[in-house]
Amino acid sequence: MKKTIKNIAFLVCISICYISCEAIDFGDINENPNGPTVAVTSQLLTEAQKAIGNSVVTSVKGILFTQQLTEGQYPSSSRYTGLTSNYNGWYTGPIQNLNEIIKINRDEDLMTTAEAFGDNNNQIAVAKIIRAFLLQNITDRWGALPWTEAFQGIDFPQPKFDTQEELYNYMFVEVDEALSLINIDNSGPKGDLIFNGNMSRWKTFANTLKMTMALRISDANPSLAKSKFEAAIAGGVIKSNSENILFNFGADDGSDNPWQDRFESRVDYLLSETLANALRTNQDPRLFKYVEPSRDGSISETNFPNGIDAKYVGAPNGYVNGNVQDYSLPTRTVTGNQRYKSPIYTSAQVKLSLAEAKLKGWSIGSGTVESLLKEGIEESMRFWGVDELDINAYTDAHTSATLADIAYEKWVALYLNGPEAWAEWRRLDMPVLIPSGNAVDPRIPVRDAYDSSIEDNNSANYASIISIQGPDNLHTKLWWDKN
């Protein structure tokens, strides 16, 4: 009887609790009245742009592959040891943020609120430009990528791969759409680390990006490359160092210059003997701007007047260079400044690209191959603070303007811009670089291989794209890499 009474009492209590829960309306007691009701697009933009500085502009792999720098006592990428790489972080991070900016600014229910952070169309335009910029960097590493069927979450977990040709066609459309949306008279996006919402500058960024993409595919699709390149020049690209597109790092440890962090407590990167020898042979004054003189080392065979280059020492590529102070280190102008402005695109790169386009016979306006090459050299040297007398001495002694000359000067001018240096070296196959003698596979990589999780999680589409693109290794050339 006692047990029965206890059970009845328990059931009554449960019923009362259930009824009470059903009857009480807690309203907005758990809602933060000061919290946003939709994602803040300015914050999404800032986070997406950080990827440009942290993962693109200051990427080390391309710098090591093109032998501008090499490693000290712990060689890895300079020996081509990274057999696979994963692109997932791009998809779940910056690109997803950019997708959300576009989505919010197109949503009729959200766009009015979003306009507090800048004109809707200008926000969309900037997101598209950055998305195309990041996509070019990613596809120029791996080649084909999931794209048109990607970003659908659990509804579509196994998207097909788009070929690199399809991705480039998509990027051209993306940039052209962005340019058509830009209204320089309306407010630019808030949270913009690069131009602080200046839409005229974003227009220049978009056209310079389009120019770079066009030249990249010039051996794979010459007619499309020519038309897009000429359209970009007509639209307005960087014209001088005052218009260089630089990434602005912050002053705190969470947003500062990665090069400063890399040299804060250790030394891992040294001047490569390849670049050192090239600059010394050509008596290029950028040698004294790119790196610091060695603390302990020196060379006996100098090439500058009065042996002023004796303390500028390059290290062999891919070796265990344990005595790091025997070699020259990257300039303190870069490694000693938390807020150093890292180049994304420069006037030098544009001028040298124009010289190549002129050599191809494309319609790009005034100037000759020789004059544009000279301007590219001058702009590079001025950016690095070379004295005008030294600039004149160099250009007076280097008047040849062949494709090999353009390729060499672009390699030098793209110092510390790993993605662009690696991509342009692969496209042009110049200058000739000798692979590290310490590499297991003595071939400089021409792409990144997919992470093993790609094959494991998307096997059918992985197999399909490999059958089209070629073996999934470091040495299968990308679509645009025809030389």
pLDDT the model gives residue 3: 44
- Phi and psi angles of residue 146, each rounded to the nearest 5 degrees, phi first: -65, 130
Buried b / exposed e along 327-353 (16+ C-beta atoms within 10 A): bbbbbeebbeebebbbbbbbbbbbbbb
Quick count: other Cβ atoms within 10 Å of Cβ 456? Answer: 9
Both tokens assigned to 333:
């102008």
Give the span between the Cα atoms of 74 and 322, in whole angstroms. 8
pLDDT-based confidence at residue 2 (cuts at 50, 70, 90): very low
Beta-carbon-side half-sphere exposure of residue 333 (alpha carbons within 13 Å):
12
Buried b / exposed e along 272-303 (16+ C-beta atoms within 10 A): bbbbbebbbebbbbbbbbbbbebeebebeeee
Residue with tokens 């220049």: 204
Output DSSP code: residue 344.
E
Closest CA to 244 of 172, 290, 183, 195: 195
pLDDT the model gives residue 252: 87
Q: With a cut of 70, say whether residue 21 has pLDDT above it.
A: no
Give the span between the Cα atoms of 97 and 361, in whole angstroms. 41
Of 8-17, 197-206, 244-253, 268-277, the poorest mean pLDDT is in 8-17
Tell me the pLDDT tens digit for each residue of 37-76: 568 999 999 999 999 988 788 889 999 999 999 999 999 9
Q: Which residues contact 430 (CB under 8 A, 6 or more apart)?
A: 403, 404, 407, 408, 411
pLDDT the model gives residue 54: 82
Both tokens assigned to 319:
């070796």
Reduce the DSSP state of residue 315 to 3 states and report it.
strand
Give the span between the Cα atoms of 271 and 290, in whole angstroms. 9
Strand partners, 269: 71
Please say whether the structural domain 86-240+449-483 has been given the CATH code 1.10.760.10: no
Cα-based angle 104, 110, 113 (whole degrees, multiple of 5): 105
Three-state DSSP string of 84-135: CECCHHHHHCHHHHHHHHHHHHHCCCCHHHHHHHCCHHHHHHHHHHHHHHHH
Beta strands 69-71 and 161-162 are unpaired
Q: With a cut of 70, say whether residue 6 has pLDDT above it.
A: no
Nearest 10 degrees: Cα torsion 121, 122, 125, 131: -120
Task: Tell me the one-letter amino acid at 459.
Answer: S
The stretch 347-363 carries a mean pLDDT of: 98
Q: With a cut of 60, say whether residue 12 has pLDDT above it.
A: no
Closest CA to 286 of 331, 238, 323: 331
Give the span between the Cα atoms of 326 and 322, in whole angstroms. 9
Tell me the pLDDT tens digit for each residue of 137-164: 999 999 999 999 999 888 888 999 999 9
Tell me the pLDDT tens digit for each residue of 428-459: 999 999 999 999 899 999 999 999 999 999 99
The stretch 158-175 carries a mean pLDDT of: 97
Q: What is the pTM of this model?
A: 0.92
Tell me the pLDDT tens digit for each residue of 84-107: 999 999 999 999 999 999 999 999
The stretch 274-282 carries a mean pLDDT of: 98
Give the span between the Cα atoms of 409 and 314, in whole angstroms. 19
pLDDT the model gives residue 154: 81
Q: With a cut of 70, say whether residue 355 has pLDDT above it.
A: yes
pLDDT-based confidence at residue 481 (cuts at 50, 70, 90): very high
Output DSSP code: residue 54.
I
Domain ranges of the chain: 86-240+449-483
pLDDT the model gives residue 37: 57
Give the span between the Cα atoms of 264 and 267, in whole angstroms. 8
Strands (E), 178-259: 245-247
